[in-house]
């Protein structure tokens, strides 16, 4: 009995110690983010653009299927452009200075993306397809009506990687604008240890950008049709990236 009580006390003390360590680790992470994020935003805003522009100029870019985008965006008509969250850097310079709009999460991490995108000439809308609030929705509608391309990462901001929620298909149904999926492949790159395996091509890497066929969602689409359209965008994104890796004659990095 005494041994059982001692074991119980040790177990309870172990749980309390573990809880204290977890709380300290969480506090350290929050404190670190509070210090580092403002510095990172400043660094990205003033150093990130020239550094990344010089770096990206060494990439050997090949563009496939751009007629899919030009066909739906001709005559100043708006459209959605969907790409995976981890590929955001790969088309940054190629699509920059066109005054396209990018939907960026309202999180602190999104602040860094915001700073970099603005330096490359993009317009930024803060929010999401599901939790952006009325203001973000109004901004998206105005951008589309003005003929802009609205860039969305449907697996962001937290993943899991290559997942999709119905928010993008819902927006396409509500607005009538088509979705153009765009995939990227790279033969040599670094990948972050994050959920999206964020991709940074190495110097002189080969990068293939592949536009897929547009996906349209009928205004009368119900839940089943929305789910089917969401999966169609997802599969098209994966298919465009597979094609890119086939051109590079290398295996997909996912």
Read off the pLDDT band of 126 (50, 70, 90).
Answer: confident
Q: What is the DSSP letter of 212?
A: P
Read off the pLDDT band of 151 (50, 70, 90).
Answer: very high
Between 190 and 127, where is the model more confident?
A: 190
Least confident among 125-134, 139-148, 169-178 = 125-134
Question: 3-state class of 111 per DSSP?
Answer: helix
Q: Read off the pLDDT of residues 178-189 as tens digits, 9 standing for 90 and up.
A: 999 999 999 999
The residue-averaged pLDDT of 56-66 equals: 95
151 has which bridge partners? 81, 102
Render 121-180 in DSSP notation, one character per residue. Answer: T-EEEES-TTT-HHHHHHHHHHHHHTT-EEEE-TTTTT--TT---THHHHHHHHH---EE
pLDDT value at residue 202:
93
26 pLDDT higher than 80: no
How far is the C-alpha of 98 from the C-alpha of 89, rounded, in Å?
A: 16
Read off the pLDDT band of 119 (50, 70, 90).
Answer: confident
Structure tokens, 33: 């983010």
Between 76 and 213, where is the model more confident?
A: 213
150 pLDDT higher than 80: yes
pLDDT value at residue 24:
43
Average pLDDT, the chain: 83
* 182-202 exposure pattern, b = at least 16 Cβ within 10 A, e = fewer: bbbbbbebeeeeebbbbbbbe
Which range in 93-102, 137-146, 202-211 is most confidently predicted, on average pLDDT? 202-211
pLDDT value at residue 23:
52
Q: Read off the pLDDT of residues 200-217 as tens digits, 9 standing for 90 and up.
A: 999 999 999 999 999 999
pLDDT value at residue 159:
87
pLDDT value at residue 93:
83
Q: Is the torsion defined by CA of 239, 250, 94, 153 positive or negative?
A: positive
6 pLDDT higher than 70: no
pLDDT value at residue 81:
97
pLDDT value at residue 148:
92
How far is the C-alpha of 221 from the C-alpha of 223, rounded, in Å?
A: 7
- 37, 184 in Cβ contact below 8 A? no
Least confident among 30-39, 167-176, 186-195 = 30-39
Between 91 and 31, where is the model more confident?
A: 91
Read off the pLDDT band of 108 (50, 70, 90).
Answer: low
């Amino acid at each position: 009995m005494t041994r059982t009580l001692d074991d119980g006390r040790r177990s309870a003390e172990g749980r309390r110690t573990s809880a204290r360590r977890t709380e300290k680790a969480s506090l350290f992470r929050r404190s670190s983010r509070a210090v580092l994020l403002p510095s990172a935003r400043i660094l990205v805003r003033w150093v990130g653009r020239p550094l990344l522009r010089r770096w990206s100029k060494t990439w050997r870019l090949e563009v496939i299927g751009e007629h899919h985008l030009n066909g739906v965006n001709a005559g100043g008509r708006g459209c959605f452009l969907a790409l995976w969250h981890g590929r955001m850097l790969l088309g940054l310079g190629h699509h920059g200075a066109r005054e396209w709009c990018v939907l960026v999460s309202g999180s602190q991490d999104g602040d860094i993306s915001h700073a970099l995108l603005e330096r490359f000439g993009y317009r930024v809308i803060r929010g999401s397809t599901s939790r952006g609030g009325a203001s973000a929705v109004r901004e998206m509608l105005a951008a589309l009506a003005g003929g802009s391309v609205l860039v969305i990462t449907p697996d962001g901001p937290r993943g899991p990687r290559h997942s999709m929620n119905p928010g993008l298909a819902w927006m396409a149904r509500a607005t009538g604008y088509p979705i153009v999926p765009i995939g990227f492949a790279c033969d040599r790159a670094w990948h972050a240890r994050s959920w999206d395996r964020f991709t940074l091509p190495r110097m002189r890497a080969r990068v293939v950008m592949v536009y897929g066929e547009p996906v349209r969602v009928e205004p009368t689409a119900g839940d089943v049709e929305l789910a089917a359209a969401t999966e169609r965008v997802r599969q098209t994104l994966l298919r465009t990236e597979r094609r890119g890796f086939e051109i590079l004659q290398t295996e997909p990095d996912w």
